[in-house]
Amino acid sequence: MIAAKLEIGGSIELADEGVREDALKFPQQLPTPNAETLAALDEVRRMKKDPTRGKAYTDIDLMMKDLLSSCTK
């Protein structure tokens, strides 16, 4: 049991050291967004360019109230 704990701890320490030293190389490829996600991102970009396209809040409680009330309709 103690040996297993030491082995796991050593492995974690070794992996942590490898990451710190950038010794472990992993391919960094972001997943391709699906059509729904791309449409949502496009909508946000349009809303940022024209703030009248969406509703803005300065009060989180009011925002939550509106969001929750729209879920029950």
Write out pLDDT tens, residues 35-64.
999 999 999 999 989 988 888 889 999 999
pTM exceeding the 0.75 threshold for the entire prediction: no
Query: Which position has the higher pLDDT, 31 or 8?
Result: 31
Distance of alpha carbon 73 from the chain centroid: 29
- First-residue to last-residue Cα distance in the chain: 58
Q: Which residues contact 55 (CB under 8 A, 6 or more apart)?
A: 66
Question: Is 80 exceeded by the pLDDT of residue 14?
Answer: no
Q: What is the pLDDT of residue 1?
A: 39
Domain limits of the chain? 42-68
